[in-house]
Structure 1
Amino acid sequence: MTVRANNIQPCHHCGGIDTHAHVVPENFPAYVGARLPAEWPSMAAAEPCHRHVMISGKVYRTVSDKCWDVAKRLEDLPGMGVGLQVISPMPELLSYWMAPADAQQVLRFLNEQIAAMVAEAGGKLAGLGAVPLQDMDLAIRELEYAVRTLGLKGVEIGSNINGLPIGAPALDPFFEACEALGAAVFVHALRPAGMDRLVGPAALQQVLAYPGDVGLAAASAITGNLLTRRPNLRIAFSHGGGTLASLLPRLQQGWTVFPALKESVAASPVEQARRFFYDTLVFDTPTLRHLVDMFGASQLMVGTDYPFNFHDRMPVERIAVAGFDADTTVALVRRNAECYLGLERTAS
């Protein structure tokens, strides 16, 4: 039986809205097909309350039961100042590298698991699903199922699709469908460029390479004129937009200097960037204030990366002590996320 996510209403008195939190299911389904893909995910036992996510025969990550246990997840929200959490798949599960039909099996299972968690949470969770973007027709069909049938608020996508930047024209039919459905899009770093330039352990992928790839993804959406073509698309970038805030002044200046760039980019890069949404997951108060100055007080939303170890445990307090005026604080903690998720329109 298909479980539809509960209708979420604006949350005016119940804390912040965390737009960046992840799900890993307790188990993965058995493969239906003739030949099991090497990348098909599975779970292996670990220490109490944890499991190993196995991909291609190796431990990709060890995760706690807070990834799938709704009750344990909800216990943590008040201490974080969060009243509504938006859950999306662990990015490595997006499965763009699988055959499209195989990826669709994984993602259909994940989308239904997320909808079931949302339904169980009694209004404390909202969901973003996932689609097999390596196949446009399958992706749009799964998007429609996730939003129309399951009631999810939108989808999470990778910062690149097997190397294809999200600003590429080939992805425009997907964004057209998102715009038509009113589906929010959340861009998360995935298999980032630049790992060959880093020196140190594998964790540097999350620490340093992720924000680099998100910054390039956001820049590609600007230089690809995504919001010029899709003006009603609600799209957000994880990790504070990554490096975009540092790239943007150069991009803006280049747009005024190079005729070819001025000709190909239809609108001011700064103006375009101030129409995207971004999470606040930067772990630093001066950086957060800089992002508000750069992108606008209406474009930043709480993000935590819960429940992974590398997450912001006090996201609302971090905003509260940053020195913003009361209206900006409310916008960052809750109101911008309501707009991004379409909750205001739902209420009206």
Structure 2
Amino acid sequence: MAPADSACQRHVMIDGRVYRTVPDSSWDAERREADMARTAVAHQVVSPMPELLSYWLHADDALALTRFMNDELALLVQSRPQRFTGLGAVPLQDVDLAMRELDRLVCDLGLAGVEVGSNINGKPIGHPDFEPFFAAAESLGAAIFVHALRPCGMDRLVGPPLLEQVLAFPGEVGLAAASLMTSGTLLRHPRLRVAFSHGGGALPMILPRLQHAWEHMAPVHQCMAQSPRDLARQMFYDDLVYDGAAIDYLLDVYGPTQVMAGSDYPFAIMDREPATRIAALGLDEATQRQLRRDNALRWLSIVKPWAE
């Protein structure tokens, strides 16, 4: 971090260059709580900014960074357990180190799980190299949140660099979700609780195509012993798609038990009124409650929930 022009901001630096300028709500609990009160949010699930997962660092350096972040996140959660739940980070460029830190952040720090990138230095999360990590997460009962990170094909974008987040993230996270299906990871680890950012990105649109291929193309059928439609409904998805009709489609594709509120707070692309957006969908109260609260509790395996 480096100071920015405002005392309430900091620059995130990568390779000596400003990657992003972030507000103090990224780390200031009181500022977060004030924003939560304004937007009718009772509880936040807090995780690192994805770029800080730092898979491109040497593994030992990444471990030091993730341990620091996890320790600080645990202090935040411990100071306000009724307001915050934490998801940590692990250095997945070294699976053994990642498994060790996963055990520490769950068993010693009390975090609910971990955030991972959609790919680790170009390897999709469904790659066989990460099988031991998912086995460990299943055994520990750790929730996993997959966020789009450093997508390929950036040379195809025309416009400012931030279009990476706007245009490329949905395709990237959709491929990540599909990789857990086509690799057999979900079938080998049926108790995994995995959630995806951005409504699963492109997944709901490519899922019918994948389902059709599974039904009519032998190689596709052979890589999945269960239908893609059913596999997709084993995972969780945030509703951060910025449009009521799009959320309705997520509910139709994934089912109302698998979609939950997301905000991308505190960044510029965040949904500033997540509770209002859910209320405007015209759903019955039970389904609204699933989106606002109950589905997240199931994903996080929280049995003594916070108050709404």
TM-score, with structure 2 as normaliser: 0.97
Aligned to 1:325: 284
Tell me if structure 1 keeps the 8 A contact 2:119–2:176: yes
Which residue of the other structure, out of 302, 326, 335, is the alignment partner of 2:261?
A: 302
- Residues 259-274 of structure 1: pairs in structure 2 closer than 5 A: 259-274=218-233
2:96 alignment counterpart: 137
Which residue, out of 10, 26, 40, partners 1:67? 26
1:88–1:127: 8 Å Cα contact kept in structure 2? yes
Higher relative contact order (CA 8 A, sep 6+): 1
Tell me, what secondary structure is at the counterpart of 1:172? helix
1:45 to partner: Cα distance: 3.4
Q: Deviations over 1:203-262 (max 9, x none)?
A: 101101111100010111111122100000000000000000001000000001111111
Name 1:51's counterpart in structure 2: 10
Q: What is the distance in 2 between the residues matched to 1:264 and 1:184?
A: 25
**Matches of 1:314 and 1:346, distance apart in 2:** 22
**Per-residue deviation, 1:276:** 0.4
1:94 corresponds, among 30, 47, 53, to 53
Write out per-residue CA displacement over residues 273-307 of structure 1, whole angstroms, 9 at most, x where no aligned residue.
Answer: 01100001000000000000000000001110101
> Which among 233, 257, 262 is matched to residue 192 of structure 2?
233
Equivalent AA in structure 2 for residue 318 of structure 1: R
Write the distance in 2 (CA, Å) between the matches of 1:312 and 1:173.
35
Shift of 1:122: 4.2
Indicate conservation of the 8 Å contact 1:44/1:54, yes or no: no
Q: Does 1:258 align with 2:217?
A: yes
The answer to whether the Cα contact below 8 Å between 2:148 and 2:169 also exists between their aligned partners in 1 is yes
Q: Using the alignment, how far apart are the partners of 1:229 and 1:345 within structure 2?
A: 29
CA distance in 2, matches of 1:260, 1:241: 24
Distance 1:242 1:215 in 2: 5
Q: Distance in 2 between matches of 1:276 and 1:75?
A: 32
Q: 3-state DSSP class of the match of 1:344?
A: coil
Instruction: Give the 3-state SS of the residue equivalent to 2:20 in structure 1.
Output: strand
1:247 matched to 2:247 = no
Question: Counterparts of 1:118 and 1:104 in 2: how far apart (Å)?
Answer: 21
Asked whether the equivalents of residues 63 and 97 of structure 2 are also in contact (C-alpha less than 8 Å), the reply is yes
Match of 1:196 in 2: 155
Equivalent of residue 289 in structure 1, options 248, 265, 272: 248
Q: Which residue of the partner structure matches residue 8 of structure 1?
A: none
What is the one-letter code of the residue matched to 2:156? Answer: R
Show the counterpart of 1:315.
Answer: 274
The answer to whether the 8 Å contact 2:76/2:84 transfers is yes
SS for the counterpart of 1:236 is strand
After superposing the two structures, state which structure 1 stretch, 149-158 or 71-80, moved more: 71-80
How far apart are residue 346 of structure 1 and its match? 8.2
Letter in structure 2 aligned against 1:118: V
**Given the alignment, which residue of 108, 125, 142 partners 1:166?**
125
| Percentage of identical aligned residues | 53
Amino acid across the alignment from 1:163? G
Query: Hey, what's the Cα distance between the residues in 2 that align with 1:99 and 1:320?
Result: 45
Aligned length: 306
Q: Is the 8 A contact 2:297 2:305 kept in 1?
A: no
- Poorly superposed stretches of 4+, deviation over 2 Å: 42-46, 344-347
1:118 to 64, 72, 77: 77
Contact kept in structure 1, 2:43 and 2:82, CA below 8 Å: yes
TM-score between both structures, scaled by the size of structure 1:
0.86
1:177-202: per-residue Cα shift (whole Å, max 9, x none)? 10111100000010012211111111
**Structure 1 gap ranges (5+):** 1-41
Q: Once superposed, what is the RMSD of the aligned Cα atoms? A: 1.2
Residue in structure 2 matching 1:109, options 54, 65, 68: 68
Which residue does 1:78 correspond to in 2?
A: 37
Contact 1:86/1:125, CA 8 A, preserved across alignment: yes
Other structure's SS at 2:92 match: coil
